[in-house]
Amino acid sequence: MNDQTHLGPKTQFTIYTEDLDREAIIALVTQEFSAATLHSGVGLWHGKAESSLAITILGHESSRGAVHSVAQNIKRHNQQEAVRVMEVKLESVIFV
C-alpha cells in the first residue's frame, strides 16, 4: 500500500517577521492561502533579540505576488522596517 502523495516542482516561500500578534498574522496569511506552517523562534534585528515567526508557504512560482502582498500586509500590521521573504525552488514534494 502506497500512502504517498507526490507533488511535482513547487516553490517554498518563507516570510520572516517579528512575532507580535500571531492571531492577526494568521488572519493575514489565510486571506490568501489555505495552508502554511508557522515556526516560532528568536531573531536578531540591529543587534537586538526579538521573538520571530517564520511562515512557510508551499505553492507554485506564480504565488510570488500573493506571498509578497501577505508580507507587505504583515510588515504594515507589525509596523516593521522590513520583513524578509525567501524563495526556494523544490524539485518535488512528497507527503507520506
Average pLDDT in the chain: 93
pLDDT band at residue 9 under the 50/70/90 scheme: confident
Nearest one of 27, 51, 25, 49 to 40, comparing CA atoms: 51
pTM of the full predicted structure? 0.90
In the chain, the amino acid numbered 25 is I
What is the per-residue pLDDT for 4?
79
Q: Are 84 and 52 in contact (CB under 8 A)?
A: no
In percent, the amount of the chain with pLDDT more than 90 equals: 82
What is the per-residue pLDDT for 94?
83
